[in-house]
Chains A and B, each alone.
Chain A
Amino acid sequence: MEDLWKIRQRKQMSIAQLSSRSGVPVERLREYEAGREDIRTDDLPRLARALYVEEWEIKLRSDPIPAKAAAQEPAGRAKRKPEGRQRREAKPGQPPQPSAPARPSQITHLQALLQRLALKQAEVEVAIGKPFAELTRLEASGLLGELQRRLTAERPAREKGKRRRPYLPESVDEFEFRYLTAQQEAARPIEFTLFNGQRLSGQIVGFSPYAITIRQADGAEVTLQKLAIAYYRVPGGEVVP
């Protein structure tokens, strides 16, 4: 479970955007995020839908937003900052910890890089003066960085904009999220075809990773489980980004 403001910031959403998407007034959201009020039971599903998370992932009463986090408020659709591992600083007054042995995953990664660089492990071990099995985590990290830089230098630079996406589809769900967001904001009617052949049309009023709620022409709202959907499209052949 996470604080509401933490999830919102992670999704690069401003309070105003969350309010617009969920229908929860800005002032109430501020109360929730400051931890002055529990999230109301009727607001929770709306917030979960708008944030594309499960209801149980949101803490009912948030810890107040720290000043540092408040200063980093996303200004709407801000560009996502590159995520990198932060180096952990040793606490002042404490002696540095002896470096732990290299992780098995680091060794595996090293071996994979050697293979890509057509290098032999035995030769590299001679060059660094110890076998991989005796490397510390820090040493392995340094060697990985060095090999990665070498690999980058030796590889021909890719054309700009032609970056290869990793084959890890389970780690990415943002494309459909963005698409649905665009359709919701444009209030376009969408036609959904379900597994059983049934067709339903309406404007998207909310969605989560597991469901999409639409408002049909007669004003009725229907929530479609994504699992029941075969495909959907904007009628009329309108191409949207």
Chain B
Amino acid sequence: MSLGDYLRYLRAVKGGPTPWEIADATGVPSSIYRQMEQRYRAVGDEEALVKLAGYFQVPVEELRWRFDWPRKALSAALVAAQEEGRPIRLHLRTGESFAGRVEWWDLGAVLLTLADGQQVVVQRHVVERWET
């Protein structure tokens, strides 16, 4: 899970504070926070990571190692699976996993068609790891 998706997850666990509320609490500007969550490239610095780790009450290392893992990794896996017609298995933080064909993916979600024909829209921020 990339830093962006992990921050999104932490925000969900904390009850969904807005970037403005996070900015007020941490001093990390809301625009930077938003970019850290959404940008393709790594955004932010050590100071921001430390402040956010304190705010979300997680070890800073949990944020640090994800810093160099941009959202591109999951996107690339989704594109490859979609273009090559291979199923992808998404393991969720809830402990569940879904394997299926990628119909579409975007900023926040992925639509999979499962082997039994059912479709499920998985939110990207819940994907912990994946296999193709």
**Which residues of A are in contact with B by a Cβ distance under 8 Å?**
162, 164-165, 167-176, 179, 193, 195, 197, 209, 225-234, 236-240
Contacts and interface: CB of A to CB of B under 8 A. Distances in A.
Interface residues of B, number: 38
B34 to A, nearest CB: 10
Main secondary structure, interface of B, reads: mixed
B126 interface: yes
Contacts of B25: none
Interface string B95-113: 0101000001111110101
Given A227-B8, A233-B120, A169 B105 contact: yes
Given A175-B106, A229-B123, 4 more contacts: A169-B75, A170-B71, A170-B107, A174-B106
Contact of B76 (A167, A236, A237): A167
B73 to A, nearest CB: 10
A227 B12 contact: yes
A231 B98 contact: yes
Contacts of B104: 175, 179
A34 B104 CA distance: 38
A226 B37 CA distance: 14
B118 interface: yes
Given A167-B75, A175-B104, A176-B109, A195 B93 contact: yes
